[in-house]
Amino acid sequence: MVQVRGKGLAAGQLEQVTAGWVERLAGLPSLVVVDDCTDVALAARADGVHLGADDLPLEVARALAPSLLLGASTHDREELLAAQAAGADYAGLGAFHATGTKPGTRLLDPGRAGLRDPVPGLAIAVLAIGGLDVSRVAEAMRVPAVTGIAVSAAVQEAGDPDGAIERLREALNEAWTAREEGR
């Protein structure tokens, strides 16, 4: 999944960038999701939109765009369940660590009892977000609700992005194996 973010772009510019990603990735096993802007996701024919607390409410986005994949930003168990109830298909849970893409964001304490326990009734995918790199994948995947990770700088700032993606994939596979074996 590729999330297109354009915090400083006008809607028309963001639509052009997003449409470019949609075109480039057409036919590949990938999804294009737009950050914050349901209208842009629809106009660019993206697969989905990721919404935060200050964006269009999930229920409204679902009513306007029933076919879009909807993601929600969350910070705790209650927000995960609320996002699911509101129609989210997946949630980003974080921030696990400080990140340059969202300076000043509230950090989670992944060791907190509430995050270390399973979330009964939670059925949507949950991606750990915020400052993740290869060395932090295992920690994030120890949170029972987490089913995957989302990264930005770990790939964008890598000297070898392909290699970075492969190392992240390996770390994720190792974390999944450890989880399945109860380690």
Phi and psi of 4, rounded to 5°? -95, 120
More confident: 99 or 26: 26
Q: What is the pTM (predicted TM-score) of this model? A: 0.92
More confident: 178 or 106: 178
For 63, other C-beta atoms within 10 Å of its C-beta total 10
When mean pLDDT is compared across 68-77, 95-104, 118-127, the lowest value belongs to 95-104
pLDDT score of 113 more than 80:
no
pLDDT averaged over every residue in the chain: 93
Whats the size of the chain, residue-wise?
A: 183
pLDDT score of 116 more than 90:
no
According to the model, what pLDDT value does residue 33 have? Answer: 97
According to the model, what pLDDT value does residue 7 have? Answer: 87
pLDDT score of 60 more than 70:
yes
pLDDT score of 89 more than 70:
yes
pLDDT band at 108 (very low <50, low <70, confident <90, very high): confident
According to the model, what pLDDT value does residue 121 have? Answer: 96
- Name the segment(s) of the chain with CATH classification 3.20.20.70: 1-74
**Would you list the DSSP string of 55-113?**
SS-HHHHHHH-TTSEEEEEE-SHHHHHHHHHHT-SEEEEE-SS--TTSTTPPPP-TTSH
According to the model, what pLDDT value does residue 106 have? Answer: 83
Cα separation, 153 vs 95, whole angstroms: 14
136-180: per-residue pLDDT in tens?
Answer: 999 999 999 999 999 999 999 999 999 999 999 999 999 999 999
Q: Which residues lie below 8 Å from residue 45, measured CB to CB, with a gap of 6+?
A: 19, 22
Q: Is 2 helix (H, G, I), strand (E, B) or coil?
A: strand
17-58: per-residue pLDDT in tens?
Answer: 999 999 999 999 999 999 999 999 999 999 999 999 999 999
According to the model, what pLDDT value does residue 100 have? Answer: 79
Cα separation, 35 vs 10, whole angstroms: 13
**Domain 1-74 annotated CATH 3.20.20.70:** yes
Burial grade of 90 (CB within 10 A; 0-12, 13-18, 19 or more): buried
Cα separation, 117 vs 100, whole angstroms: 29
